């Protein structure tokens, strides 16, 4: 009996062990709403599951072979009241789950700007969301703050009760950006941009990581997320500007190379076009951006002239990381200069002397007549 009692307590102990789980005790309003959705869905499903489990045990006990007092009706085959209960209850549960899911799908859309900071507290129209550009690298995270012109690796911070607008992409393979205390996960993919809106409501240090396997260094692809009051956030920005270095395109190409368990790095200044270049796969100077290529294709392409303006395309995973061990040298589609660059280039071209259009005459030979030149002399008749 004691052994049976101990086994029966194991599920309860498992539930108690999760009381401090961050997913069920988040610090951001979006994550709180997602937690409530999990709880509501679970309760609605248990409304059906628990009675079924209880009735299964009850029927097995009541109609056991040794219970001779239980009614016995071998000719019974239908009950309208029982059919209504069996079908109506699950139908109501499905309707409730469908309504909750439909509302949550729209209200918790990661692309949707936040309408509130916390329950009963709407977002002020004067508050500007904090813009954060995220790049998933192998195997680290790059965070760019375009408003402040800084960047950091494997560390990010945000002020409490201020909406955060994330723009996310990846350098090589698909990853999943996830801060359980802040909001649900969102995928990052090369050449594509995803968005996430969130807010942190309580100060503290939280953990973020990649929730999608991406190679050998996946387990160490973690970062610290700091929820700070306004004064603390401004101090963090000042510290990054005072201690960081410059993140230009060449520095990014070096940073992009695969590395594991990278320590926190700060950059006091960032190329303002870096995130756009990463997103459009044209960090290298002279390479055609995807946005430029899409615009050319939308206008009908370059035609035959484009054949001589481009080179073969190689996957950036190898070309931007020092080239493949075997095979040709790295190559990519060459970018087409802008109108301003074309005008500047035309000003730098040296003027060539006019061509001599007079006919060529051999040394000491008379100039050929039109008849000899074009073969217009009449042939004699055979008659």
Residues whose CB falls within 8 Å of the CB of residue 292, separated by 6 or more in sequence, listed in order: 280, 282, 335, 336
Long-range contacts: 286-293, Cβ < 8 Å, 24+?
A: 286/334, 286/335, 287/332, 287/333, 287/334, 287/335, 288/332, 288/333, 288/334, 288/335, 288/336, 289/335, 290/191, 292/335, 292/336, 293/333
Write down the CATH superfamily of domain 118-279.
Cupredoxins -  blue copper proteins (2.60.40.420)
pLDDT of res. 177: 96
First to last CA, the chain: 135
pLDDT of res. 226: 96
CB 226, CB 156: distance < 8 Å:
yes
Long-range contacts: 208-211, Cβ < 8 Å, 24+?
A: 208/141, 208/156, 208/177, 208/178, 208/179, 208/182, 209/178, 210/136, 210/139, 210/141, 210/175, 210/176, 210/177, 210/178, 211/176, 211/177, 211/178, 211/185
Distance of alpha carbon 383 from alpha carbon 113, whole angstroms: 98
pLDDT of res. 293: 80
pLDDT tens string 32-70 = 999 999 899 899 889 888 988 998 999 889 888 888 888
- Within its chain, how far is the Cα of 362 from the centroid? 72
Say whether pLDDT at 305 is over 80.
Answer: no
pLDDT of res. 323: 44
What are the tokens at 68? 């001779």
* 276 — pLDDT class (breaks 50, 70, 90): very high
CATH 2.60.40.420 domain span(s) along the chain: 118-279
pLDDT over 70 for what percent of the chain?
73
Say whether pLDDT at 277 is over 70.
Answer: yes
pLDDT of res. 313: 46
Q: Minimum mean pLDDT among 171-175, 269-273, 358-362: which range?
A: 358-362
Strand 155-159 versus strand 150-153 pairing type = unpaired
CB 217, CB 259: distance < 8 Å:
yes
Going 344 to 349 to 350 to 352, the CA torsion angle's sign is negative
pTM over 0.85: no
Average pLDDT, the chain: 81
What are the tokens at 133? 């550009």
């Amino acid at each position: 009996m004691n052994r049976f009692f101990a086994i029966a307590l194991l599920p309860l102990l498992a539930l108690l062990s999760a009381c401090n789980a961050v997913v069920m005790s988040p610090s951001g309003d979006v994550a709180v709403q997602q937690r409530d959705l999990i709880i509501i869905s679970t309760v609605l499903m248990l409304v059906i599951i628990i009675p079924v489990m209880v009735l299964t045990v009850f029927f097995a006990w009541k109609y056991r072979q040794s219970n001779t007092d239980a009614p016995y009706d071998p000719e019974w085959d239908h009950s309208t009241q029982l059919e209504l209960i069996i079908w109506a209850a699950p139908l109501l549960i499905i309707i409730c789950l469908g309504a909750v899911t439909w509302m949550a799908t729209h209200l918790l859309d990661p692309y949707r700007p936040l309408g509130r900071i916390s329950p009963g507290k709407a977002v002020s129209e004067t508050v500007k969301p904090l813009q954060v550009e995220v790049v998933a690298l192998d195997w680290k995270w790059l965070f760019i703050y375009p408003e402040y012109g800084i960047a950091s690796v494997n560390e990010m911070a945000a002020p409490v009760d201020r909406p955060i607008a994330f723009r996310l992409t990846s350098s090589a393979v698909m990853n999943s950006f996830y801060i359980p205390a802040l909001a649900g996960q969102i995928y990052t993919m090369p050449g594509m941009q995803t968005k996430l809106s969130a807010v942190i409501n309580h100060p503290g240090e939280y953990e973020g990581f990649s929730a999608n396997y991406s190679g050998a260094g996946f387990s160490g692809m973690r970062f610290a997320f700091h929820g700070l009051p306004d004064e603390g956030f401004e101090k963090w920005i000042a510290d990054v500007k005072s201690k960081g270095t410059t993140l230009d395109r060449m520095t990014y190409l070096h940073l992009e190379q695969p590395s594991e368990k990278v320590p926190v790095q700060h950059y006091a200044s960032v190329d303002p076009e870096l995130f756009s270049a990463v997103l459009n796969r044209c960090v290298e100077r002279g390479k055609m951006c995807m946005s430029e290529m899409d615009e050319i294709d939308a206008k009908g392409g370059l035609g035959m002239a484009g054949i001589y303006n481009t080179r073969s395309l190689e996957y950036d995973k190898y070309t931007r990381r020092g080239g493949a061990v075997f095979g040709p040298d790295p190559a990519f589609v060459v970018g087409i200069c802008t109108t301003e660059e074309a005008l500047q280039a035309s000003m730098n071209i040296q003027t060539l002397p006019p061509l001599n259009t007079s006919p060529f005459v051999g040394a000491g030979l008379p100039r050929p007549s039109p008849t000899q030149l074009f073969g217009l002399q009449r042939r004699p008749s055979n008659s």
